[in-house]
Structure 1
């Protein structure tokens, strides 16, 4: 989601149990409709000073949650009683977050007058404006320390940690920066912006982090003329890597792509597709084997009611593709089956896999459509397993809210609720319960690797 007009935005999640795209009555703001196999274990309100809760990363006993005014760190050793450890004020949306060791990397896609945490908004038409990555040392979770900024072309809407290869993985890592919305009068964001910024971060010396390449991934231009596009392809919105397979999936506005990332500093497209039902290729999730990918379509940019009966099941949905060499083969769409009201911003958004052996299952955020746990083992016949859905925060007008991200981590689902704060949920279902045996020490959702069957690993 790219926030460009705050007055248009929305606030929490939505509706009732049905099994088809038909009309159904609205329900009150705090009503919860859910399946019997999921329960809310804990909730913490947004910390003081936080605004628009965004993405989540995990490491050990901690969850790192971004918001448009900075980020917060939670101790989740007891998932049923999470504790706020610290909150950092450092404005600049969206504050996409990733964690590796003691380094927290954050994205700023909001033009600022400088790179400090005291910065104020400033027009990107001014050459001295700044946006890009901020890197923090969170070795002491109670006292995070800002250590480095890296300016990138058109800022950093989202970013992805990419492990270096072999022994180099202990010495440094890469960050793929996704950004867009160039303009002729923006000196640091010139069209055509068909590139990805590659940042190299030395683990022992993060102050030396720097852009090492800006490869043009669409040298002949992307999808720019398809009717109904929210924006033409200009770089990517989000990239998910599967480092062990040397591939990445790019959700690139008008295009869905698979990158070859054997040369980490020079990702190049190996497969590419478009879809007449997709308005904005937003994010991507590989299955555990890395031979399928689920792309999401953020129809309406996340700020509109796109889960109404009028929109139907194939727009603002997921598209499931099988990866066959240099081809992406479309198999089916998946969308929640509960139409939402006109007062609920709703569309496919961020989710992650559940580590269930032999099955492809993920949990996914749908803004005010709540969350859905669903299976795509049969790529042509996806089906829902569980859901949790609140009513609209404001029953008379659309206000930005709902789940930005819902991710599975070590037995629980964590939901970053834009307006309400942090939720912790538990699924109890025979189809998913084997995932409870799997423990990982680290989870940056856009940096995928094969889940172990049991025990530690990432």
Structure 2
């Protein structure tokens, strides 16, 4: 089945004239992913575009080359089962985690819990107000973790914003007890250097180790001083989470990392990591660290150790996230060109920027190397009023295949095959038309993950979507069930022990 045969498929062809040239110049003038949170604190924020770009968006909608405003289109093998709009939490929807029949959805204002017993009608179990971007979220047993990467007056859920230049300001990790999922209880907090943009779990039997990714220090920030060339490691005892504390700050870039800037124009200087993905069954982790991609040994989870490191100073502006394949012989890294707030899925930016980079892992032990094979980017051009770039995704567990579902903000949700590292291809998609054809409005799918037979997407503005894929290539995954899923802590789907 090819996409060209799908009745819902529309051609994507945007002009590369004056509007395109203007946008490209604007992109080059923007620092690739600033220290401010991604498309976030003000979810309704809109940015002016040139009159040519607005006219081009309207023309392409009228011609049927892109979907109409808020119109839903998808490939024939995707079914849109449900959408649950935002409710009490009006901020930006962010990441997702899963346990049993529940989905835990982060939001810049807190988090929401859904009962997924009927995917066609997810039911809200509770909503917890606890502001602090990004509220990156994960769960392990009866514990829930939230990342706070905005400077707050204190560590409570009643805090207000406060400048990072003030010593009393707080950023870091919050821990909740969700043994009663209807009434989560806030039980602990841990302040971390430069806050917590994202975090990743390495769940041991008695303890949970948390790798905290943060970046962009400043000499004016008392709790975020340069250099900031590593990650915070937190140890959380399961039976007494109130004893959680930072146990180490391993330096991952003793040479300071990618200098970016004038040395590597258009590339972010490495001042920490954006995201880390662990594969505990293989004692491995992959770090997406601004200007660098790294492979780590985590046999001792308290002391992660770098095995290999790569850069792509031609096409990668900001190393954002990482995904292993099941065999742990590949890593997909994403480039968040423009910080998630720019229109980069168009002809002038091209197929190699703001894309995924597929790397094979070759060799053994400490001699393992990351070897670049190809790029993957969604093949459908988007309007210049749509923020679109590679973002969060997960494996679809099919033995012997490397399949992935991924969010692309207003580029929607893409399902793609990278079994052949050199020739990745899309096999399904779902997307909405632009939020606006007059302005660059921030929205779209933040995270799109496969969990126990369904695809779940947290849309920044539109809410919680449930999709079902029906395709012979992905159908075997329906037989694979897990009890818990934090995508940045990848399970071994086929471990029989």
Shorter-chain TM-score range: over 0.9
Q: CA deviation at 1:10?
A: 5.7
Output the aligned Cα RMSD: 1.7
Structure-2 separation of matches of 1:60 and 1:287:
23
Q: What aligned pairs does 1:338-417 form with structure 2 within 5 A after superposition? A: 338-417=380-459
SS at match of 1:125: coil
Farther off after superposition, 226-235 or 39-48: 226-235
Q: CA deviation at 1:9?
A: 4.6
CA contact 1:10–1:345 (8 Å) conserved in 2: no
Distance 1:10 1:385, change over 3 A: farther
Q: CA deviation at 1:340?
A: 0.4
Structure-1 separation of matches of 2:195 and 2:45:
22
SS at match of 2:95: strand
Deviations along 1:251-287, one digit per CA (max 9) or x if unpaired, are: 0000010011122111121111001200000000000
CA contact 2:412–2:432 (8 Å) conserved in 1: yes
CA contact 1:291–1:324 (8 Å) conserved in 2: yes
CA contact 1:10–1:344 (8 Å) conserved in 2: no
> How many aligned residue pairs are there?
439
Name 2:284's counterpart in structure 1.
247
Structure-1 separation of matches of 2:249 and 2:45:
33
CA contact 1:356–1:435 (8 Å) conserved in 2: yes
CA contact 1:182–1:192 (8 Å) conserved in 2: yes
CA contact 1:59–1:443 (8 Å) conserved in 2: yes
Name 2:228's counterpart in structure 1.
193
Name 1:16's counterpart in structure 2.
none
Q: Is residue 265 of structure 1 aligned with residue 307 of structure 2?
A: no
Deviations along 1:27-77, one digit per CA (max 9) or x if unpaired, are: 321212211000100110012233100000000000000000000000002
Deviations along 1:76-126, one digit per CA (max 9) or x if unpaired, are: 022121100000000000000010111100000000010000000001111
SS at match of 2:481: coil
Structure-2 separation of matches of 1:235 and 1:223:
10
CA contact 2:280–2:491 (8 Å) conserved in 1: yes
Structure-1 separation of matches of 2:89 and 2:426:
36
Name 2:145's counterpart in structure 1.
105
Q: What aligned pairs does 1:203-282 form with structure 2 within 5 A after superposition? A: 203-225=238-260, 226-275=263-312, 276-282=314-320
Distance 1:93 1:282, change over 3 A: same
Gaps of 5+ in 2: 1-32, 48-62
Q: CA deviation at 1:3?
A: 2.2
1:127 aligned residue (151, 164, 167) = 167
Q: Which 4+ stretches in 1 moved above 6 angstroms?
A: none
Structure-2 separation of matches of 1:380 and 1:162:
31
TM-score, scaled to structure 2: 0.86
Name 1:19's counterpart in structure 2.
none
Q: CA deviation at 1:241?
A: 0.5
Q: What aligned pairs does 1:6-17 form with structure 2 within 5 A after superposition? A: 9=45
